[in-house]
Amino acid sequence: MNIVILSRNRRLYSTNRLVEAAKERGHNVQVIDHTKCHMVIEKGNIGIFHGEDEIENIDAIIPRIGASVTFYGSSVIRQFEAKKVFTTVSSLALVRSRDKLRSHQVLAKAGVNIPRTAFAKHPDDTNNLLKQVGGAPLVIKLLEGTQGLGVVLAETRKAAKSVIEAFYNLNANILIQEFIEEAKGADVRAFVVDGNVVGAIKRQGVEGEFRSNLHRGGKAHPIKLTKAEQAMAVKAAKALGLGIAGVDMLQSNKGPLILEVNSSPGLEGIEKATEIDIAGMIIEYVEKQSAMPTERKKDKVGI
Protein backbone atom coordinates (compact mmCIF):
# COMPACT_ATOMS: atom_id res chain seq x y z
CA MET A 1 0.00 0.00 0.00
CA ASN A 2 0.98 3.63 -0.56
CA ILE A 3 0.25 5.56 2.64
CA VAL A 4 0.59 9.30 3.28
CA ILE A 5 0.82 10.67 6.80
CA LEU A 6 -0.29 14.30 6.90
CA SER A 7 1.94 15.87 9.54
CA ARG A 8 3.80 19.14 9.94
CA ASN A 9 6.73 17.48 11.74
CA ARG A 10 8.01 14.01 10.85
CA ARG A 11 10.15 14.00 14.02
CA LEU A 12 7.13 13.96 16.33
CA TYR A 13 6.77 10.72 18.29
CA SER A 14 3.34 9.85 16.87
CA THR A 15 4.34 10.53 13.26
CA ASN A 16 7.59 8.60 13.65
CA ARG A 17 5.85 5.59 15.18
CA LEU A 18 3.28 5.44 12.40
CA VAL A 19 6.06 5.52 9.80
CA GLU A 20 7.86 2.69 11.61
CA ALA A 21 4.70 0.59 11.91
CA ALA A 22 3.80 1.06 8.23
CA LYS A 23 7.30 0.13 7.05
CA GLU A 24 7.38 -2.93 9.32
CA ARG A 25 4.29 -4.17 7.48
CA GLY A 26 5.86 -3.62 4.07
CA HIS A 27 4.02 -0.46 3.04
CA ASN A 28 5.37 2.57 1.19
CA VAL A 29 4.89 5.57 3.44
CA GLN A 30 5.69 9.26 3.13
CA VAL A 31 5.14 12.20 5.46
CA ILE A 32 3.71 15.33 3.85
CA ASP A 33 3.14 18.70 5.49
CA HIS A 34 -0.53 19.42 4.71
CA THR A 35 -0.03 23.17 5.21
CA LYS A 36 2.40 23.13 2.27
CA CYS A 37 -0.04 21.36 -0.05
CA HIS A 38 -2.15 23.20 -2.56
CA MET A 39 -5.25 22.06 -4.38
CA VAL A 40 -6.53 22.45 -7.93
CA ILE A 41 -10.27 22.12 -8.49
CA GLU A 42 -11.99 22.13 -11.85
CA LYS A 43 -14.33 19.93 -13.83
CA GLY A 44 -12.75 16.53 -14.22
CA ASN A 45 -9.65 17.53 -12.26
CA ILE A 46 -9.25 17.25 -8.48
CA GLY A 47 -5.55 17.65 -7.86
CA ILE A 48 -3.41 17.82 -4.74
CA PHE A 49 0.13 19.12 -5.01
CA HIS A 50 3.12 19.36 -2.70
CA GLY A 51 5.36 21.91 -4.31
CA GLU A 52 5.54 21.06 -8.01
CA ASP A 53 4.72 17.40 -7.44
CA GLU A 54 1.18 16.07 -7.69
CA ILE A 55 0.29 13.57 -4.98
CA GLU A 56 -1.03 10.55 -6.84
CA ASN A 57 -1.58 6.78 -6.52
CA ILE A 58 -2.28 6.97 -2.79
CA ASP A 59 -4.26 4.19 -1.09
CA ALA A 60 -4.78 5.82 2.31
CA ILE A 61 -3.97 8.90 4.35
CA ILE A 62 -3.45 9.21 8.10
CA PRO A 63 -4.13 12.86 9.04
CA ARG A 64 -2.30 14.31 12.03
CA ILE A 65 -3.91 17.75 11.90
CA GLY A 66 -3.09 20.31 14.59
CA ALA A 67 -5.89 22.37 16.10
CA SER A 68 -4.47 25.64 14.76
CA VAL A 69 -4.86 24.49 11.13
CA THR A 70 -8.14 22.57 11.38
CA PHE A 71 -9.83 24.51 8.55
CA TYR A 72 -7.04 24.02 6.04
CA GLY A 73 -6.33 20.49 7.19
CA SER A 74 -9.96 19.46 6.76
CA SER A 75 -9.91 21.00 3.27
CA VAL A 76 -6.93 18.86 2.29
CA ILE A 77 -8.65 15.75 3.66
CA ARG A 78 -11.78 16.60 1.64
CA GLN A 79 -9.68 16.76 -1.51
CA PHE A 80 -8.38 13.25 -0.86
CA GLU A 81 -11.93 12.08 -0.08
CA ALA A 82 -13.07 13.46 -3.45
CA LYS A 83 -10.37 11.29 -5.04
CA LYS A 84 -11.81 8.29 -3.11
CA VAL A 85 -8.70 7.84 -0.97
CA PHE A 86 -9.38 6.23 2.43
CA THR A 87 -8.69 8.48 5.42
CA THR A 88 -8.48 7.46 9.06
CA VAL A 89 -10.40 10.61 10.00
CA SER A 90 -12.98 12.12 7.69
CA SER A 91 -13.07 15.88 7.13
CA LEU A 92 -16.53 16.04 8.73
CA ALA A 93 -15.45 14.10 11.82
CA LEU A 94 -12.38 16.31 12.24
CA VAL A 95 -14.43 19.51 12.13
CA ARG A 96 -17.05 18.10 14.50
CA SER A 97 -14.52 16.95 17.07
CA ARG A 98 -12.60 20.25 17.08
CA ASP A 99 -15.69 22.34 17.85
CA LYS A 100 -16.29 21.74 21.58
CA LEU A 101 -19.87 23.04 21.49
CA ARG A 102 -20.82 21.09 18.38
CA SER A 103 -19.22 17.90 19.65
CA HIS A 104 -21.06 18.17 22.98
CA GLN A 105 -24.33 18.69 21.11
CA VAL A 106 -23.66 15.61 18.95
CA LEU A 107 -22.65 13.50 21.95
CA ALA A 108 -25.68 14.52 23.99
CA LYS A 109 -28.02 13.77 21.09
CA ALA A 110 -26.43 10.31 20.74
CA GLY A 111 -27.06 9.52 24.41
CA VAL A 112 -23.44 9.86 25.55
CA ASN A 113 -22.97 10.90 29.17
CA ILE A 114 -21.24 14.30 29.50
CA PRO A 115 -20.85 16.81 32.35
CA ARG A 116 -23.73 19.27 32.52
CA THR A 117 -22.74 22.08 30.16
CA ALA A 118 -24.07 25.57 29.42
CA PHE A 119 -23.32 28.04 26.64
CA ALA A 120 -24.40 31.62 26.05
CA LYS A 121 -23.23 34.68 24.13
CA HIS A 122 -24.33 37.57 26.33
CA PRO A 123 -22.85 38.45 29.77
CA ASP A 124 -26.33 39.20 31.13
CA ASP A 125 -26.86 35.42 31.16
CA THR A 126 -24.09 34.80 33.73
CA ASN A 127 -26.38 34.18 36.72
CA ASN A 128 -28.52 31.76 34.76
CA LEU A 129 -25.44 29.94 33.48
CA LEU A 130 -24.10 29.44 36.99
CA LYS A 131 -27.46 28.14 38.12
CA GLN A 132 -27.75 25.70 35.20
CA VAL A 133 -24.49 23.91 36.07
CA GLY A 134 -25.12 23.78 39.81
CA GLY A 135 -23.12 26.83 40.88
CA ALA A 136 -19.50 27.05 41.98
CA PRO A 137 -17.07 25.42 41.85
CA LEU A 138 -17.35 25.09 38.07
CA VAL A 139 -15.14 24.78 35.01
CA ILE A 140 -14.89 27.42 32.28
CA LYS A 141 -13.48 26.37 28.89
CA LEU A 142 -12.51 28.29 25.79
CA LEU A 143 -14.06 26.63 22.74
CA GLU A 144 -10.73 26.88 20.93
CA GLY A 145 -8.51 25.66 23.79
CA THR A 146 -6.37 22.50 23.55
CA GLN A 147 -4.11 20.46 25.85
CA GLY A 148 -5.62 22.08 28.95
CA LEU A 149 -5.00 25.65 27.78
CA GLY A 150 -7.99 27.96 28.20
CA VAL A 151 -9.51 25.81 30.97
CA VAL A 152 -10.18 27.53 34.30
CA LEU A 153 -11.54 26.22 37.60
CA ALA A 154 -13.61 28.88 39.35
CA GLU A 155 -13.93 27.86 42.99
CA THR A 156 -16.40 30.56 44.07
CA ARG A 157 -19.40 32.26 42.49
CA LYS A 158 -17.60 35.62 42.59
CA ALA A 159 -14.54 34.19 40.84
CA ALA A 160 -16.73 32.47 38.24
CA LYS A 161 -18.56 35.71 37.37
CA SER A 162 -15.27 37.60 37.09
CA VAL A 163 -13.69 35.04 34.75
CA ILE A 164 -16.82 34.68 32.60
CA GLU A 165 -17.22 38.44 32.24
CA ALA A 166 -13.52 38.81 31.37
CA PHE A 167 -13.84 36.19 28.60
CA TYR A 168 -17.00 37.87 27.28
CA ASN A 169 -15.23 41.24 27.17
CA LEU A 170 -12.55 39.60 25.00
CA ASN A 171 -15.29 38.28 22.67
CA ALA A 172 -14.19 34.73 23.51
CA ASN A 173 -16.62 31.83 23.17
CA ILE A 174 -16.75 29.71 26.29
CA LEU A 175 -18.49 26.69 27.78
CA ILE A 176 -19.40 26.47 31.46
CA GLN A 177 -19.39 22.97 32.95
CA GLU A 178 -20.17 21.38 36.27
CA PHE A 179 -17.11 20.47 38.33
CA ILE A 180 -16.77 16.76 39.11
CA GLU A 181 -15.08 16.88 42.50
CA GLU A 182 -14.84 13.11 42.97
CA ALA A 183 -12.55 12.85 39.92
CA LYS A 184 -9.83 14.43 42.12
CA GLY A 185 -7.85 16.00 39.29
CA ALA A 186 -7.67 12.80 37.25
CA ASP A 187 -9.19 11.65 33.99
CA VAL A 188 -9.04 8.59 31.74
CA ARG A 189 -7.87 8.49 28.12
CA ALA A 190 -9.33 5.53 26.22
CA PHE A 191 -7.81 4.89 22.81
CA VAL A 192 -10.38 3.60 20.33
CA VAL A 193 -9.47 1.90 17.04
CA ASP A 194 -12.13 0.46 14.75
CA GLY A 195 -14.84 0.34 17.38
CA ASN A 196 -12.70 -1.20 20.14
CA VAL A 197 -10.82 0.22 23.11
CA VAL A 198 -7.24 -0.97 22.49
CA GLY A 199 -5.61 0.74 25.47
CA ALA A 200 -6.36 3.09 28.34
CA ILE A 201 -4.46 5.25 30.80
CA LYS A 202 -5.42 7.23 33.88
CA ARG A 203 -3.87 10.69 33.96
CA GLN A 204 -3.37 12.42 37.31
CA GLY A 205 -2.72 16.13 37.55
CA VAL A 206 0.14 17.44 39.66
CA GLU A 207 -0.68 18.46 43.23
CA GLY A 208 -2.91 21.52 43.29
CA GLU A 209 -3.75 21.19 39.56
CA PHE A 210 -7.22 20.02 38.49
CA ARG A 211 -6.14 19.58 34.84
CA SER A 212 -4.65 16.16 34.20
CA ASN A 213 -3.14 16.78 30.73
CA LEU A 214 0.33 15.30 30.29
CA HIS A 215 1.34 18.59 28.65
CA ARG A 216 0.53 20.29 31.97
CA GLY A 217 2.80 17.94 33.95
CA GLY A 218 0.28 15.17 34.64
CA LYS A 219 1.40 11.56 35.12
CA ALA A 220 -0.09 8.52 33.41
CA HIS A 221 -0.41 4.84 34.28
CA PRO A 222 -2.28 2.01 32.53
CA ILE A 223 -5.78 1.21 33.69
CA LYS A 224 -8.35 -1.51 33.01
CA LEU A 225 -11.67 0.06 32.11
CA THR A 226 -15.02 -1.18 33.28
CA LYS A 227 -17.45 -2.47 30.67
CA ALA A 228 -19.50 0.73 31.10
CA GLU A 229 -16.42 2.90 30.47
CA GLN A 230 -15.43 0.90 27.40
CA ALA A 231 -18.94 1.07 26.01
CA MET A 232 -19.18 4.84 26.59
CA ALA A 233 -15.81 5.46 24.91
CA VAL A 234 -16.81 3.44 21.84
CA LYS A 235 -20.22 5.15 21.73
CA ALA A 236 -18.61 8.61 21.83
CA ALA A 237 -16.16 7.82 19.02
CA LYS A 238 -18.96 6.38 16.89
CA ALA A 239 -21.23 9.39 17.51
CA LEU A 240 -18.58 11.69 16.04
CA GLY A 241 -17.80 9.33 13.16
CA LEU A 242 -14.24 8.58 14.30
CA GLY A 243 -12.61 5.24 13.55
CA ILE A 244 -9.58 6.31 15.60
CA ALA A 245 -10.04 8.48 18.67
CA GLY A 246 -8.66 9.41 22.04
CA VAL A 247 -11.68 9.60 24.32
CA ASP A 248 -11.19 11.56 27.55
CA MET A 249 -13.57 10.82 30.40
CA LEU A 250 -14.07 11.43 34.10
CA GLN A 251 -14.86 8.68 36.59
CA SER A 252 -17.80 10.12 38.51
CA ASN A 253 -20.49 9.00 40.94
CA LYS A 254 -22.86 9.08 37.94
CA GLY A 255 -20.65 6.77 35.90
CA PRO A 256 -18.24 7.72 33.08
CA LEU A 257 -18.64 11.28 31.77
CA ILE A 258 -17.09 12.11 28.40
CA LEU A 259 -15.04 15.31 28.39
CA GLU A 260 -13.66 15.33 24.86
CA VAL A 261 -13.11 13.12 21.84
CA ASN A 262 -9.73 13.78 20.22
CA SER A 263 -9.53 13.12 16.48
CA SER A 264 -5.72 13.27 16.39
CA PRO A 265 -4.68 11.62 19.67
CA GLY A 266 -1.01 11.42 20.55
CA LEU A 267 0.63 8.02 20.84
CA GLU A 268 3.56 8.74 23.12
CA GLY A 269 1.78 8.85 26.47
CA ILE A 270 -0.35 5.77 25.96
CA GLU A 271 2.28 3.63 24.22
CA LYS A 272 4.92 4.30 26.86
CA ALA A 273 2.52 3.76 29.75
CA THR A 274 0.87 0.60 28.40
CA GLU A 275 3.67 -0.81 26.17
CA ILE A 276 0.98 -1.56 23.58
CA ASP A 277 1.76 -1.18 19.87
CA ILE A 278 -1.03 1.31 19.15
CA ALA A 279 0.68 2.50 15.95
CA GLY A 280 0.66 -1.04 14.59
CA MET A 281 -3.06 -1.36 15.34
CA ILE A 282 -3.72 1.85 13.43
CA ILE A 283 -1.87 0.51 10.37
CA GLU A 284 -3.84 -2.75 10.61
CA TYR A 285 -7.03 -0.67 10.68
CA VAL A 286 -5.89 1.16 7.55
CA GLU A 287 -5.18 -2.16 5.81
CA LYS A 288 -8.63 -3.47 6.70
CA GLN A 289 -10.52 -0.34 5.69
CA SER A 290 -8.63 0.18 2.45
CA ALA A 291 -9.67 -3.30 1.34
CA MET A 292 -13.38 -2.49 1.91
CA PRO A 293 -15.74 -1.42 -0.88
CA THR A 294 -16.24 2.37 -0.93
CA GLU A 295 -19.86 2.14 0.28
CA ARG A 296 -18.88 0.23 3.40
CA LYS A 297 -16.04 2.62 4.18
CA LYS A 298 -18.48 5.52 4.23
CA ASP A 299 -20.82 3.71 6.57
CA LYS A 300 -17.93 2.84 8.88
CA VAL A 301 -16.70 6.40 9.43
CA GLY A 302 -20.16 7.94 9.51
CA ILE A 303 -19.80 10.34 6.60
Neighbours of 206 (CB within 10 A): 12
Cα 158-153-190 angle, rounded to 5 deg:
155
Architecture of domain 2-96: 3-Layer(aba) Sandwich (3.40)
Residue 290 CA to residue 87 CA, distance in Å, equals 9
Q: How far apart are CA 244 and CA 259, in angstroms?
A: 17
SS3 282: helix
For 249, the enclosing helix (H) or strand (E) is strand 244-252
Q: Where are the domains of the chain?
A: 2-96, 117-179, 182-301
- Tell me which of 3.30.1490.20, 3.40.50.2300, 3.40.190.10, 3.40.1110.10 is the CATH number of domain 117-179: 3.30.1490.20
CATH H superfamily, domain 182-301: ATP-grasp fold, B domain (3.30.470.20)
**DSSP characters over 192-203:** EETTEEEEEEEE
Burial-class residue 48 by CB neighbours within 10 Å (0-12, 13-18, 19+). Answer: buried
| Burial class, 262, CB count within 10 angstroms (exposed 0-12 / middle 13-18 / buried 19+) | buried
Give CA–CA dist 166/163, Å, rounded.
5
| Helix or strand holding residue 288 (H, E) | helix 278-290
List the pLDDT tens digit at each of the 303 positions of the chain: 999 999 999 999 999 999 999 999 999 999 999 999 999 999 888 899 998 899 999 999 999 999 889 999 999 999 999 999 999 999 999 999 999 899 999 999 999 999 999 887 766 777 888 888 888 889 988 876 555 567 888 888 889 888 888 888 888 888 889 998 888 888 999 999 999 999 999 988 666 555 555 555 567 899 999 999 999 999 999 999 999 999 999 999 999 999 999 999 999 999 999 999 999 999 999 999 987 655 444 444 332
